[in-house]
Structure 1
Amino acid sequence: MVKQPAPDATRRSDKSRRAIYAAALALVGEVGYPRTTVEGIAARAGVGKQTIYRWWSSKADVLLEAFLDLGERTARAAGQEPYAVPDTGDLAADLKAVLRATVDELLEPLFEVPARALAAEGLLNEQVGREFVERLLQPQLRLYADRLRAAQDSGAVRRDVDPRIALELFVSPLAQRWLQRTGPITYDYTDTLVDYALHGITPR
């Protein structure tokens, strides 16, 4: 009698996680964050509610992890490192390239809907807001700061500039315009942000 191999619990768990990620992203896109529930995610994913609560404490935690996973998988599918800032030696070109990629992401409904939901929930829920900043925003901001420090080493940025403050000159306006819908999000807009940040607005 041939002995059947034991079920692979790791594979089963990963399959369930993937189903839960997909369900959370799909539901938020279809019914919005307020009407998305853990019960709804579980039903959509074909798992028990307790399976979700075994790994996450709330629907916000599920959505945040699903969103982070989506970004990583999308970047790798494109042959890129997640949230990488290039260093070609041309600071302006590098910043414009990564901000253009950010524009594409912000305008993609698959990313935009959960990102807006998490940003809004983070304003009301301190723990969600902290997780959103620590796990999503801070890693990206550190990469910008590292790129600016490299530019300082090459002489392209003044030594007395604080990279963490400087990056806000182009990152913060984009985030504000996107969140508040105060104007279009375009390549021309982000290119201009970089030009203004690097060269100022006073006569040269």
Structure 2
Amino acid sequence: MDTRGGDSSDQDTYRSTAVEFIYRPTAGDFEEALRARARRSTAGRAQALTAPLVAAVAVAVFSVLHDATLPVWIMSLVLSVTAASWGTVRGLRTMARRMFSVVEPYGQCRMVADERGAVSTGDRASFTVDWTVFREYLETPGLFVLLGGDRAAGVAVLPKRGAQDHADVDRLRAILDRNVKRL
């Protein structure tokens, strides 16, 4: 992606090295990404905790207004928070499947990243993205997950299994560390 002629410093040579990943996305990749986002980002935690918190507050208010006995209050609280938590998990799974359904038709993907950004090419489409689109990223055992910034409220998923060489994972991590905030 970055082709420079003439003399360049060692730093410029290091920074101009592109990394290539070839992979086929799966629904599991998006589930893993959304679970990691829910655990490690402020927005993800807020999204995951809103329903159980609202359920707990609703039960508490209802119990106080109707003068419920303590055993009824505790049972209602446990059941409602459990149901709301289950709904949150199901919601994340549904969201992951929907995200996957958008990228599934593109088939196998080839992503090339350098200091300026990434170019991703699938069987049916390609796009180029600058690192400034992403506010932060996080890493799971199997993925790099890029989280959208001010102008883009999205999640980009990059499976590590797509690395052509194990060193490419480290090289991409270094590129991301220089260009995007790590969570």
Greater Rg over alpha carbons, structure: 2
| Same topology, TM > 0.5 | no
Provide TM-score, normalisation by structure 2.
0.32
